[in-house]
Amino acid sequence: MSCAAPGNCSAGGVYSDSSGHFQAFVVSEVNGSWGTAEQVPGTAALNQGGSAGTVSVSCASPGKCAAGGIYTDSSGGGQAFVVSEVNGTWGTAQQVPGTAALNQGGFAETVSVSCASPVSCGAGGIYIDSSGGGQAFVVSEVNGTWGTAQQVPGTAALNQGGFAYVTSVSCALPVYCGAGGTYSDSPGSQQAFVVNAGIQPPPPRAANGAVPATAAPAASRPARHTNARWDRWRLALLPSPLALPFRLDTMLFNGMRARQLAEVFKWRGNPELAAAISRITAVRGR
């Protein structure tokens, strides 16, 4: 759920239809009144496997939001989607660009979305690579168009245990975002990471509008950035390791996929994580 102003919010989630399939929905509040929830446009066509859900919503201004989540394709594989709302109308959901190539293991999900302006957002989540390892991805929307998802820079070296994903994204200005998440180190312990996107903003001006003498001349700095630069990352290990990923409960809409993931992590020498996935799916009856 996200609110851009008092009485103007949007929310999303999952519901079970008459056939027992999970579907993704969104709903908006305008001037204090909640509208009618609707299936996320486009997911009826995407969700051939019958398990979809909205995981994250972010609103930059009233009626201008973005959301992301998961659906299952015709082969039962989990895929990540994003969808944008413009002037109060939700557009058509799409598979996160680039994840079709990344997601060789058949499970991807958009875990977090953040919008700094009506047409500039960032998102992140998880995909499974060809070796069965979980990897973290980030993707940016610039001027209303979603770019190509990429593995979070630096995590390929860190994620020796084969389980990484983005838990949270926050964008303060267009193309200036930060993300955080978790990865598994070589002994199999979960560790935390943070990463920044975007070129550093220019230094603040003095009260009279002058640029401090130590700053680079204005002509040498881009006046406007049109593409988020996740490759200009700054990665740092946080002091407190994460015992288990935060969002396993929202990540695992498909029981069969969850059991497959549990077997993957058991095989990769992480029985605690495998057991946690199994417990969650047992409790939720999936």
Rounded to whole angstroms, how far apart are CA atoms 230 and 274?
31
pTM, rounded to two decimals: 0.73
pLDDT in tens, 58-110: 999 999 999 999 999 998 889 999 999 999 999 999 999 999 999 999 899 99
What's the DSSP call for residue 285? T
Contact predicate 177/151, CB 8 Å: no
DSSP string covering 2-30, please?
EEEETTEEEEEEEEE-TTS-EEEEEEEEE
Between 275 and 194, whose confidence is greater? 194
Tens of pLDDT, residue by residue over 132-158, are 899 999 999 998 999 999 999 999 999
Q: What is the 3-state secondary structure (H, E, C) of 94-145?
A: EECCCHHHHCCCCCEEEEEEEEEECCEEEEEEEEECCCCCEEEEEEEEECCE
Count Cβ atoms below 10 Å from residue 99 Cβ, excluding itself: 23
- Look at the block and give the residue holding tokens 């399939």: 21
SS3 at position 82: strand
Count of all residues that appear for the chain in the document? 286
Instruction: Kindly state the average pLDDT of the residues 269-284.
Output: 51
Q: Which residue has the tokens 């015709």?
A: 74
- Burial-class residue 110 by CB neighbours within 10 Å (0-12, 13-18, 19+): buried
Cα distances (Å, whole numbers) of residue 149 to 53, 120, 140, 171: 20, 15, 8, 16
